[in-house]
Structure 1
């Protein structure tokens, strides 16, 4: 009963409007500013900032606001909602770090395999970019800050919003759909959208649905936290391009002409379903219809069950 964990705090409606309202306002302002800049100007601005600051410092500047936002979200939940971080994270008595690490290393290993298989098959699309000194700096920054960035997104979308929307909608499918669409639309300002077109939204929204499904089926955020951290961390360390949101001194640099292809569809329609199958077998998921689309218990029922 993950969504019902919100009842362990004080889930008044107004409290669920403040943080999402501020976040939506910030993202809307950012999107409007980006929308009025031609794509070439955006790339030129990013290139200029990276040239002045360096890739590592630019990455730090990108990631630090997420780390601050995660801390503020935790404070809001703890002191305004009077809800524990554990109950925001999982329906279990304690956070299951084994689940986090399993998802992290599973997706990290698979990501590494995918990148280097593609490198072997199409080496002309990549440049070897490895510099030990810069890579060690990148690894230190990325390992420290990227999990904070991805954790904020998971705690905000799959945690705070799913719980808040769930208890007020009274079911599970509405928060699943809304947070998945919201998560995808969050990425509209990414430079990848300007280069590849709106078709890339299939990947972003599909990823949102995948993370929402594993959160609801597993009754906790642990798998989503591990997967998301691995996805961003291993990508930042292994491969970058001059038209992506993360531009880092990674092992490889992609130099091919950006195009929308099978690599957008395969994760959503092949890889993610296979991962769901692996997780479902390992953690013995049942009652799929109820967990993904069933009703959310009321406060009295949830309290009786938890006691």
Structure 2
């Protein structure tokens, strides 16, 4: 069972509390650090740097879109490294156990999910471009900037999405799960936190609060996917494909990824009933496809069952106690 993999390492509440705080603040710091360093080289570390950095629009105008995209993703890549190091250092647990309940990471699952979502997204975007709303797009392709973008995106977008999956559906899912004792509690909590973290995205400013339905709906779907499949492989593939297609094929001035993509959306959209179609129709269909492919069963147990510590892990925790003389004698 996926959540129970946390018991194979050091799994005290104090370790998870410290680890969560350390990962979160590392993430916040590393999101801004590349920009501070680059601006420092340009302006020097003085009052002018502070003025430029405090004005986000001015700061972004100092860099090309590809450079800004690279710095943004670099912060996620470094945060993923921090997460892995803390998992190994604090919890003495392996990346494999943080990824899956299987003996080794099943990359075929990752690639199935990646290819399915990539093909689906490309089809939906091209149908909209050619047949539904052609006036909402402009052809934006420029060879050299696009090749640079593609190199950055292919390398760093999977690292960005992997950090989010390993933090929310991995580290927090396992930590909250083993401490609350129920599988549905970390599903709800991590989905809420994941959705809420996207509230600052420019898409929300442009389209309105209703677009949050999409973020919360996607978070719940990825959480269900993780619990039903007992691993992160499918959600890792889904998230990587979704963001990679978005960054390469179509972006807009009002999206978090403002890149040198092939197409640019020039519409002025607002969230409407379509977000409910995505959350209540498309997401369940995707889950059914995966369920059919991997023969998921016992939905009630996997989503709402209890998390139970294996006996082997209980004995291991006893052996971690410093003074074992009387306990070992009785044992």
| TM-score normalised to structure 1 length | 0.90
CA distance in 2, matches of 1:92, 1:302: 17
Query: Where in structure 1 are there 5+ consecutive unaligned residues?
Result: 30-43
Q: Which runs of 4+ in 1 moved over 4 A?
A: 22-29, 44-47, 301-304
Query: Where in structure 2 are there 5+ consecutive unaligned residues?
Result: 30-53, 316-331
Partner of 2:9: 9
CA distance in 1, matches of 2:297, 2:267: 44
Mark the CA change 1:70 to 1:186 in structure 2 (over 3 Å): closer, same or farther.
Answer: same
Query: CA-to-partner distance for each residue in 1:128-157, whole Å, 9 max, x for gaps?
Result: 101111111110000111100000000000
Q: Say if 2:26 and 2:79, in contact at 8 Å, map to a contact too.
A: no
CA distance in 1, matches of 2:247, 2:300: 36
Q: 7-16 or 265-274: which moved more?
A: 265-274
Deviation at 1:267, TM superposition (A): 1.8
Mark the CA change 1:75 to 1:162 in structure 2 (over 3 Å): closer, same or farther.
Answer: same
Q: Say if 1:4 and 1:302, in contact at 8 Å, map to a contact too.
A: no
Partner of 1:180: 191
Query: Cα RMSD between the aligned structures?
Result: 2.1
Deviation at 1:20, TM superposition (A): 2.3
Q: Say if 1:27 and 1:186, in contact at 8 Å, map to a contact too.
A: no
Aligned: 1:276 with 2:252: no
Q: If you compute each CA radius of gyration, which structure gives the higher value, 1 or 2?
A: 2
CA distance in 1, matches of 2:25, 2:81: 19
What SS does the aligned partner of 2:198 have? helix
Partner of 1:87: 97
Partner of 2:46: none
Mark the CA change 1:50 to 1:148 in structure 2 (over 3 Å): closer, same or farther.
Answer: same
Deviation at 1:292, TM superposition (A): 0.3
Partner of 2:37: none
CA distance in 2, matches of 1:25, 1:83: 21
Aligned: 1:115 with 2:120: no
| TM-score normalised to structure 2 length | 0.84
What SS does the aligned partner of 1:220 have? coil
Aligned: 1:191 with 2:202: yes
Which gives a bigger RCO, structure 1 or 2 (Cα 8 Å, sep 6+)? 1
CA distance in 2, matches of 1:126, 1:155: 34
Deviation at 1:25, TM superposition (A): 5.8
Q: How many residues align?
A: 291
Aligned: 1:218 with 2:229: yes
Q: 168-177 or 192-201: which moved more?
A: 192-201
Match for 1:293 among 300, 304, 315? Answer: 304
Partner of 1:76: 86
Mark the CA change 1:8 to 1:196 in structure 2 (over 3 Å): closer, same or farther.
Answer: same
CA distance in 1, matches of 2:121, 2:207: 21
CA distance in 1, matches of 2:80, 2:25: 17
